[in-house]
Each structure stands twice: as C-alpha cells, then as structure tokens.
Structure 1
C-alpha cells in the first residue's frame, strides 16, 4: 500500500506479457476488479484491511495491557463471537454457508487461543499476582493499625476482623438474577 495513504495503492497484479504492474488504484490494497478484486473473499479481505486500519488510526485512547491479559481478552472476545454465531445459526430458518464457514474458523481460533491461554498458565499467574496484592494490602493495614495503637498479633480481635474482610473482598461476588 502507498506510504502517503495506506488505504490506497495500485493493483498488485502484473501483466504476463509486459511484466508491468497494473495501473488501477485499489482502496484497501490487493488487486483491482479486473484481476479478481470483485471475488467475495478478496473483497472481504480488502474490507477487513480497511477496518483494521481505521480502528488503529481512530485516535481513541488505548489501555496498555499485560500480554497475558491481552491474550485472555482475545480468547474471551473470540468465544463471545462464537456464541453469537451459534445463536445466529440456531435462530436461522436455513443455514447460511458463510455463517457456517465463519463459525468453523472462529471455533478453530477459540481452540487455539484457549490452548495458548492454558499453556501460558495465565490463571496461575493471576492468582499469584492477586495473592501478592492481598499480602501488600494486609501489610499496609497492619502497619496503619499498629501506628494507631491497635493489637494486630495473630489471633487478636483486630487481626481477625482484618483477615475476615480481606477474605470477603477476595471472594467472587454473588450472582443475583
């Protein structure tokens, strides 16, 4: 694609006879309609490139995430898309080949991402990080309470209250319907 405008470039096809590149311009890159650019899969790829470029250049603030968190978010997003596709197929009167194809591709992607998440032991890492944060919070609370003159020896009423509240904070919230 062109450096001045990444969404516009010349057709990538070359003539067999002249060995010259086609002179047609293509929004999103790839080949022009004369050289197969009108084919559904080629048009879809071109539209995907345009969508990615627009999303990357939108200017919205982004959150810098840990690679493990980004991987877990990707797996979660992909799984959500699979669930939507499954719902769409269940609700459809007749099966659309494109939806079936998309579902198959996304099921494969979810499987690969899920395996990568498991291989990376992200849950174990999150647990270690959470435990370390809990220990730091406990240390700060203990130091503050000691400075205020409270007895925080193990088993004291103050220590029991602090431990009980920290454990309650660590438990997942109850789901209400």
Structure 2
C-alpha cells in the first residue's frame, strides 16, 4: 500500500512524453549542441527555429534563415515542420515569419511567445488537434491577458485540425489535418487584416 506522501512525490516527478509517429521517417537538421554527449532538452523552454527546410520525399534540405519580423508562427511536434515549410514559402512572397517550436506544452515558455508577438504584431498557432480547448486556444487566451495584446495588429488566428472524428483513410486524413498551404493562407489573412482598437 502506498502512502499519500509517496503518491504526491511521484506526481511531482512525472513526465509524459508523446511521440508523433509521422515524424519517425523524417530527417531533421539539428544543431551541434544536440549531437554532444551531454545534451538535455530544456523542459519549458521554447526554441525560435533559425532555419527553414523543405521536405522532398522525406529528405530535408537545410537553408539558414533570419528570425522573422512580420508574423509569429507557434507550433509543436509535426506542426513545426509544416510551419518551417510555410515560412520558406512565405519568404518567397516577401514575408518574414518567425517560427517558435514549443518543445514542451507544460510548462509553457510564454515569455518567448510574448516577446515575438510584441516584435511581429501578428500571431498564428498551428496544431493538428481540434480547435476546441487546444494549445492554440490557451496561447490565444494568455496573449489576450497580457501587454502583448496591445501590440497586435490583427486577431490571433489558429490553424487546427477539422472538428470531426479523425478518419483513417489517408485521402480523408489529408483533408482533416492542417498542411503547409493552410498555414500560408492563414498567415496571409492575418497580415492583410488591420484591427480597429
């Protein structure tokens, strides 16, 4: 039999790690620090992705890019790859996108998001989950409750999965899950919109 103290202490050290199965066969460029023997992923710390890559048949071609100035795209897991592809596409249209890889959802590194939003004045969140009660909704709520809200020039937009049960047929799955085209379209929509305050 376990004591209450034991259970409480156990919960304080519990970590849930979710892997996205679609990412297993993809190659990603990584920095030298990741390849070292002592690399530990900092939990609760976002990473502003400084590179943009294009996936062709699951082969990734790396191109260094600057941090964005026009729009902030926040994502995690498979959405990061799609967001980086969208940033590459947007760069061809003259739009500089800053992509933030959340890396952990709780704790959430909100300071990095806030600073980026205050710099770019536009925010798009990307996730494969449903729009209701997702991480994009939480980020939107937190931005609306802080000083970054006053910097926004357009409403916060979310790119999410369609609010239907997840189909298993690949052609239907592709219709339900967000893709690079959805992200580019949403970013363009955000940049065309001007908020009246």
Name the TM-score class by shorter chain.
Answer: under 0.3
| TM-score normalised to structure 2 length | 0.21
Which protein shows a greater Rg?
Answer: 1
Whichever structure has more strand as a proportion of its residues is: 2
| TM-score normalised to structure 1 length | 0.23
Higher normalized contact order (CA 8 Å, seq sep 6+, divided by chain length): 2
